[in-house]
């Protein structure tokens, strides 16, 4: 290890670091118990200049590809020796939103300006506009992230080493492009080759004193944030657009809940009263799961409730102030 005890300089040191980090509850959940994934993430971070702990917070694999979040991508570029400034704007020139990102690079005394845009029309053509998830919850930010990604990748390809932006990769839909087996067209099916067999069922007698379980145990161990009583319950969250998101643990449920209500609260295109109503409706969609959370993890349930009440109180005050 170097002078920073958390900056491994040898493979053995990196492995030791990864094993230690994998046992910590303070690293992102996706890395807990996975030292090999931590090792690769730290290596990817090193490629683009991120310290180990920053890499664990900002490098993630989406659709099988390493990515970093847009804010981290911008931070990497602003630290580049040839960075000369940047500007991001949002406009409505023809009624449609257009996000613009302009990056300045100083190359051997020359000023090179790279400007890229991503519009509402572009998002519609790519079937992104109104799509469930972040595109529905905070479309302006997603337009901004697309424009930023295009500008940064074109202006500073050397700073990114081919790594993609997480917000952009999250929108990519994977399609099955596995070629069909050509033998399937000429080979007879199993059903055609085998003689018909009559269906036959036979009753199985169960002794009167036999023990029959109330549930079938498909998850022998409760995941983190779940008790044995609720290990068989699939924790999920219903998003504002009706999409159901399955979640691993109450800690992740709390984080996602706060993210969703913050996104609704930040939607400046709606009145404060409308935002307050939308947050209330979002909570109602998840009341049943919140009741389970209260029994299973009272501490996080209180944090979730406090966050909800705080935003409702804030939006109510703003609505009154605006005369709504």
At residue 268, the pLDDT reads 86
Mean pLDDT of 139-168: 85
Whether the pTM exceeds 0.85: the reply is no
Domain positions in the chain: 11-62, 72-169, 233-321
Q: Which of 138-142, 160-164, 221-225 has the highest mean pLDDT?
A: 138-142
H helix or E strand, kind and range, residue 58: helix 52-58
C-beta separation of 116 from 154 below 8 A: yes
Q: What is the pLDDT of residue 212?
A: 35
- Phi and psi for 24 in degrees, rounded to 5? -90, 140
What is the DSSP pairing of strand 244-246 with strand 236-238?
A: antiparallel
* Longest distance between any two alpha carbons in the chain, whole Å: 90
Token code pair at residue 17: 């670091």
Cβ atoms of residues 44 and 59 within 8 Å: yes
The conformational region for residue 125 under phi > 0 = left, psi -120 to 50 = alpha, else beta, is alpha
Tokens 């992104």, located at residue: 128
Q: How far is it, in rounded angstroms, from Cα 303 to Cα 309?
A: 10
Cα distance between residue 112 and residue 35, in whole Å:
42
pLDDT in tens, 4-30: 446 667 788 888 888 988 898 888 887
Which one, of 49, 45, 41, lies nearest residue 21 by Cα?
41
Cα(164)–Cα(66) distance, rounded to whole angstroms? 7
**pLDDT higher than threshold 90 for residue 248:** no
């Amino acid at each position: 290890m170097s002078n920073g005890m958390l900056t491994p300089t040898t493979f053995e040191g990196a492995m030791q670091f990864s094993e230690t980090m994998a046992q910590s509850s303070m690293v992102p959940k996706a890395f807990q118990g996975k030292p090999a994934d931590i090792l690769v993430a730290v290596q990817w971070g090193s490629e683009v200049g991120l310290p180990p702990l920053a890499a664990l917070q900002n490098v993630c694999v989406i659709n099988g590809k390493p990515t970093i979040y847009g804010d981290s991508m911008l931070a990497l570029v602003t630290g580049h020796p040839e960075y000369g400034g940047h500007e991001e704007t949002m406009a409505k020139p023809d009624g449609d939103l257009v996000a613009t990102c302009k990056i300045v690079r100083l190359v051997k005394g020359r000023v090179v300006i790279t400007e890229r845009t991503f519009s509402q029309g572009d998002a519609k053509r790519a079937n992104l506009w109104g799509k469930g998830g972040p595109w529905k919850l905070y479309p302006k930010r997603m337009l901004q992230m697309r424009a930023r990604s295009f500008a940064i990748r074109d202006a500073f390809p050397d700073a990114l080493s081919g790594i993609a932006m997480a917000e952009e990769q999250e929108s990519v839909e994977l399609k099955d492009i596995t070629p069909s087996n050509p033998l399937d067209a000429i080979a007879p099916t199993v059903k055609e080759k085998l003689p018909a067999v009559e269906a036959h069922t036979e009753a199985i007698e169960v002794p009167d004193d036999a023990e029959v379980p109330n549930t079938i145990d498909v998850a022998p161990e409760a995941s983190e944030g779940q008790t044995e009583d609720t290990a068989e319950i699939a924790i999920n969250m219903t998003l504002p657009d009706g999409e159901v998101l399955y979640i691993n643990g109450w800690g992740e449920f709390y984080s996602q809940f706060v993210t969703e209500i913050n996104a609704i609260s930040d939607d400046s295109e709606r009145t404060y009263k409308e935002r307050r109503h939308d947050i209330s409706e979002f909570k109602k969609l998840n009341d049943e799961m919140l009741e389970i959370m209260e029994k299973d993890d009272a501490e996080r349930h209180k944090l979730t409730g406090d966050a909800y009440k705080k935003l409702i109180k804030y939006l109510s005050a703003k609505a009154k102030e605006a005369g709504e």
